[in-house]
Structure 1
Amino acid sequence: MEDFILAFQSSAQKIQNLLKVSHTDYLSTTNSSGDNQLGIDVKADKIIEEELLSLNSVRGLCSEEKNEVIYKDYGSYFIAYDPLDGSSIISSNLSVGSIFGIYKEGFESKNIIAAAYVVYGPRLELVFANDVLSYFIYDGKSWKKQPPLKLNESGKINAPGGTQKNWSSKHKTLIDSFFQKGYRLRYSGGMVPDLHQILIKKGGLFSYPATSDAPNGKLRKLFEVFPFAFIYEKAGGGAIDGKNRLLELPINGIHDTSPCFFGSIEEINEVRRIYE
């Protein structure tokens, strides 16, 4: 896995430099999910594609910005990635990120063996999970390993995604119950910075439910949901779709979506209680 860590670190430094100088203009194209593409989305996607295809161990890769999987004739691992999660908030100068899932023998939840994400913010940071969870910060010259991240049994952060008018009454009850317990609202519109903050602060809940306008959820299983589910479980938390463990969900296409809840064990148990 060391080759993957080095590849993610290398592409992160290149994308961080790209973010400092690039405009946030939309192109005339959309990705497979129908989202308008920023020029910087496409550039970040190309940086990661070239970095990963240079690894002999990579057999195939797909991204949120691609319609199909790119395959090679050799290698053992399949990588799914979101090159620039939260790119729509770049113009507001908020933190954004990249997300990676590493799969063995094909793109299915049961095959994920490692995951990672990068945070592009005041600091450049990388979290990588396989058997253990590793945390790195780039100091401008080299990557420094930090103490591992671990969730407490519960926290005080509530990060609810989706437009409120499209929430179900059940989900409104859930979110209100956390606020009534004194949880703090922390939601930027970027999955990476919001989930990273919960990990750094050691507890809380991130939710992106099924909504009336997105009954199957909005976040993509391969690129976003499964990687963060893997990371949160390694950090001592949980990751479900409301009832079911995310890493047991089937996949019918590379751009499948799912409702998702990530958090500390007590918050996840409360989600189950209300949703069941």
Structure 2
Amino acid sequence: KLRQYAVCYDPLDGSSLVDVNLAVGTIVSIYSGNDPLQAGRNQMGAMYVLYGPRTTLVYSVGKGVYEFTLNSLGEYTLTRENIVLKDHGNIYSPGGLRQKYLPGQRKFVSYLEDNGYKLRYSGGFVPDVNQILLKGSGIFMYPALSDSPEGKLRLPFELNPMAFLIENAGGAASTGAMPILDVVPEHLDQRCPVYIGCRREVAMAEDFLAVEAR
């Protein structure tokens, strides 16, 4: 029996980095049925391909996270299986202009800096999340900004598939107020702030933002 699937994909995430030869990627999200406007928790699977010094594919269908590497024969070979994030890390990747951060975000970043977290930010969502996933450590964030309260990254095409992968590796992904995967998109271009990575750092981000919201 034939089944229908809805696929959301970003064919070249980080396209502004191509002219300076930095890593970019492709992100894919798969749902059952023909409606792409579903909560990310309904995904059947998600994956990304990273085009860097190596070409790698990372995917999950809800039963672990796996990495494959493209070899000289044009085949993908399994290189990592059952990838798991630590409970906490020491890397932070903050997107957005700092002068446009809201007070809770400023305090959170200051806390990370004061506690020895290392800044690792390339400007590419795929390579930055890939680093956190494979090192098993850290948090990526693109917060609400003073002139863009919904953030920059798109929920169906970027955030949902990455949140699915990170949660399946034992991490967390949040808007700062609720899990990314529980947000039901109203339109395809919907955007959200994002905090994604190790559970402890994501929870800390939510705490800092909640204090400022009171």
TM score, norm. by length of structure 2: 0.92
- Per the TM alignment, residue 132 of structure 1 is displaced from its structure 2 partner at its CA by 2.1
Pick which of 161-170 and 107-116 moved more.
107-116
| Paired position in structure 2 for 1:199 | 133
- Per the TM alignment, residue 193 of structure 1 is displaced from its structure 2 partner at its CA by 0.3
| Paired position in structure 2 for 1:236 | 170
**What pairs with 1:97-136 in structure 2 (closer than 5 Å)?**
97-105=25-33, 106-107=35-36, 108-109=38-39, 110-130=41-61, 131-136=63-68
Quick one: which amino acid aligns to residue 23 of structure 2? S
- Per the TM alignment, residue 201 of structure 1 is displaced from its structure 2 partner at its CA by 1.1
Quick one: which amino acid aligns to residue 133 of structure 1? V
| Paired position in structure 2 for 1:48 | none
* Equivalent-residue separation in structure 1 for 2:179 and 2:59 (angstroms): 21
* Equivalent-residue separation in structure 1 for 2:53 and 2:59 (angstroms): 19
- Per the TM alignment, residue 76 of structure 1 is displaced from its structure 2 partner at its CA by 1.5
The runs of 5 or more residues in structure 2 that have no matched partner are: none
* Equivalent-residue separation in structure 1 for 2:27 and 2:67 (angstroms): 14
| Paired position in structure 2 for 1:83 | 11
Higher relative contact order at CA 8 Å, sep ≥6: structure 1 or structure 2?
2
The equivalent position to 1:138 in structure 2, one of 56, 61, 70, is 70
Partner of 1:179, secondary structure, is: helix
* Equivalent-residue separation in structure 1 for 2:98 and 2:133 (angstroms): 24
Quick one: which amino acid aligns to residue 160 of structure 2? F
- Per the TM alignment, residue 104 of structure 1 is displaced from its structure 2 partner at its CA by 1.4
| Paired position in structure 2 for 1:93 | 21
* Equivalent-residue separation in structure 2 for 1:120 and 1:216 (angstroms): 28
Percent identity of paired positions between Structure 1 and Structure 2: 37
Deviations 1:197-227 (A, max 9, x none): 0111111000011111211111000000100
- Per the TM alignment, residue 166 of structure 1 is displaced from its structure 2 partner at its CA by 1.0
Q: Does 1:221 align with 2:149?
A: no
Pick which of 233-242 and 175-184 moved more.
175-184
Quick one: which amino acid aligns to residue 80 of structure 1? C
| Paired position in structure 1 for 2:185 | 251
Deviations 1:91-140 (A, max 9, x none): 11110000011111322114212100000010000001112212101122
Q: Does 1:208 align with 2:142?
A: yes
Q: Which ranges of 4 or more aligned residues in structure 1 deviate by more than 6 Å?
A: none
The runs of 5 or more residues in structure 1 that have no matched partner are: 1-56, 58-73
How many residue pairs get aligned? The number is 204
Q: Which has the larger radius of gyration?
A: 1
- Per the TM alignment, residue 250 of structure 1 is displaced from its structure 2 partner at its CA by 1.7
| Paired position in structure 2 for 1:27 | none
Cα RMSD after superposing both structures: 1.3
Partner of 1:78, secondary structure, is: strand
